[in-house]
């Protein structure tokens, strides 16, 4: 039993929680008994007084993010158990004691029953990213659980939530170390080495969600000329070179990203046929002169909200049209969308329209997604955010 303020739902609004959906929308709430501070724990009850779940309260359309469907206290034991289960899953995926891969996503929000919390582990450094006030307030519990579970392996915990917290909230997060102080490090992923700068880098420092897709690219790269658009720190580029590509070009509009991409290529290959360009992707592609066997299109999320969906789909259409136009006959396009609001079908339709614009024959070879350390809660399908297609272009 716990003693959290009680939130009573309107009659008939209990069904989604009974089906383990991890959120309560503000419109479902009939009454909050007592006063609640934003980010605090609350317990949710049916209109008839039956316990449903406990979670973090927040002002906004998603009012409660559920942490437990059992009537328990959200105390240190809860955090140790829940993050412990997430770690157990990664161990069973072979990601924990693995000589070839020592970086993985340890907690993937709703996918690990912890809405609002992301934890990426870069060998000995955990980068935690909070997307809700409640998670930010409970940061200390999260840090303690990490120290308890990872013990000797853990050297630093960096908290990076300044840009991910709800911006209307009075609670302001600041980025910084909550344990240790290593500001960058080296990881290994499928035997490829990468420098990661979690302090200055984008997101938590590296896009771990492309691990399996980078591996697939490596398998297709032998003797191929590869163009890696939106290359960031060169993830796909290093795998392409590792797979025997004859030439790799990396393009990104960010200077620090390209500098790191060059560093990462050099870390793996003292000499290589890699060239990088700090340039806008659309401009670069428009002048690409059809010399590539494989083109990777991995742009940032074009839509972060539903109201940007139309423009985002136009963006994917235009980008894919350019890529498909430019690839050599018999070539491949690895195309992705990481926008959560763009469905698998929307994305496929946008790519389809791009193919039609380019007037090329296109077949889908692979339909890919995020790896197993980014699990999708079946009751929260929105958690499946990464969509990718590998296209064969005649
Ligand atoms: N494929 C990468 C991740 C890409 S993230 C990996 O596997 O690590 C998206 C990247 O697109 C970011 O590095 C960002 O700097 C870059 N970007 C954003 N807008 C761009 C544009 N218009 N032209 C080129 N790069 C862009």
Per residue of the chain (394 residues), what is the pLDDT tens digit?
A: 678 999 999 999 999 999 999 999 999 999 999 889 999 999 999 999 999 999 999 999 999 999 999 999 999 999 999 999 999 999 999 999 999 999 999 999 999 999 999 999 999 999 999 999 999 999 999 999 999 999 999 999 999 999 998 877 788 899 999 999 989 899 999 999 999 999 999 999 999 999 999 999 999 999 999 999 999 999 999 999 999 999 999 999 999 999 999 999 999 999 889 999 999 999 999 999 889 999 999 999 998 888 889 999 999 999 999 999 999 999 999 999 999 999 999 999 999 999 999 999 999 999 999 999 999 999 999 899 999 999 999 9
Task: Indicate the pTM of the whole model.
Answer: 0.97
Q: Which tokens go with 136?
A: 């930010």
Return the DSSP state at 226. Answer: E
d(CA 196, CA 215): 19
Our answer on whether the CB atom of 336 is closer than 6 Å to any ligand 1 atom is: no
Sheet of 176-179, strand order: 103-108, 117-122, 125-130, 156-159, 176-179
Assigned token pair, 66: 């559920």
Pairing of strands 62-68, 51-57: antiparallel
The shares of helix, strand and coil residues in the chain, as percent rounded to the nearest 5, are: 30, 30, 40
- Give the start-end residues of each E strand in 123-259: 125-130, 156-159, 176-179, 185-189, 192-196, 225-229, 247-252
- How many angstroms does the Cα of residue 260 sit away from the middle of ligand 1? 13
DSSP 209: G
Question: What's CA 250's distance to the chain center, in Å?
Answer: 21
For 106-138, the DSSP string reads EEEGGGGT-TTEEEEEETTEEEEEE-SHHHHHT
Candidates 189, 193, 133; CA nearest to 165 is: 133
CA distance 390 to 363: 9
Q: How far is CA 212 from the centre of its chain?
A: 13
CA–centroid distance, 293 to ligand 1, in Å, is 20
The residue whose C-alpha atom lies closest to atom 10 belonging to ligand 1 is: 230
| Pocket flag, ligand 1, residue 254 (CB < 6 Å) | yes
For tokens 């494989």, the residue is 294
**Does the C-beta of 252 come closer than 6 Å to ligand 1?**
yes
Closest atom of ligand 1 to CA, residue 336: 1
Ligand 1 in contact with 132 (CB < 6 A)? no
Q: How far is CA 85 from the centre of its chain?
A: 20
DSSP per residue, 39-70: T-EEEEE-TTS-EEEEEEE-SSSEEEEEEESS
Ligand 1 close to Cβ of residue 238 (< 6 A): no
């Amino acid at each position: 039993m716990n003693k959290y303020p009680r939130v009573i739902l309107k009659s008939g609004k209990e069904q989604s929680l009974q089906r383990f959906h991890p959120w309560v929308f503000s419109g479902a709430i009939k009454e909050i008994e007592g006063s609640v501070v934003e980010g605090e724990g609350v317990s949710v009850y049916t209109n008839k007084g039956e316990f449903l779940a406990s979670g973090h309260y927040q002002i906004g359309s998603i009012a409660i993010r559920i942490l437990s469907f059992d009537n328990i206290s959200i105390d240190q034991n809860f955090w140790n158990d829940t993050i412990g289960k997430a770690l157990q899953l990664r161990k069973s995926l072979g990601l924990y004691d693995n000589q070839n891969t020592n970086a993985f996503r340890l907690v993937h929000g709703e996918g690990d029953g912890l809405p609002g919390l992301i934890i990426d582990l870069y060998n000995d450094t955990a980068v935690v990213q909070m997307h809700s006030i409640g998670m930010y307030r409970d940061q200390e519990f999260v840090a303690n659980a990490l120290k308890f579970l990872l013990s000797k392996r853990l050297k630093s915990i960096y908290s990076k939530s300044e840009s991910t917290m709800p911006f209307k909230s009075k609670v302001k997060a600041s980025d910084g170390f909550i344990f240790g102080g290593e500001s960058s490090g080296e990881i290994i992923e499928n035997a490829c080495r990468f420098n990661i700068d979690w302090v200055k880098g984008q997101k938590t420092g590296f896009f771990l969600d492309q691990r399996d897709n980078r591996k697939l690219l490596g398998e297709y790269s032998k003797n191929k000329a590869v163009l890696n658009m939106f290359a960031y720190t060169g993830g796909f580029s290093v795998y392409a070179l590792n797979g025997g590509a004859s030439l790799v070009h990396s393009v990104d509009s960010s200077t620090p990203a390209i500098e790191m991409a060059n560093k990462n290529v050099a870390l793996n290959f003292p000499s290589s046929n890699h060239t990088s360009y700090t340039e806008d992707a659309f401009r670069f592609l428009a002048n690409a002169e059809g010399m590539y066997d494989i083109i990777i299109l991995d742009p940032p999320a074009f839509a972060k909200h539903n109201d940007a969906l139309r423009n985002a789909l136009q963006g994917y259409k235009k980008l894919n049209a350019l890529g498909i136009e430019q690839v050599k006959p018999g070539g491949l396009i690895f195309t992705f969308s990481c926008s959560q609001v763009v469905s698998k079908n929307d994305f496929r339709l946008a790519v389809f329209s791009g193919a039609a614009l380019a007037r090329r024959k296109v077949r889908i070879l692979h339909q890919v997604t995020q790896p197993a350390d980014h699990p999708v809660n079946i009751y929260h399908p929105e958690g499946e955010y990464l969509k990718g297609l590998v296209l064969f272009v005649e």
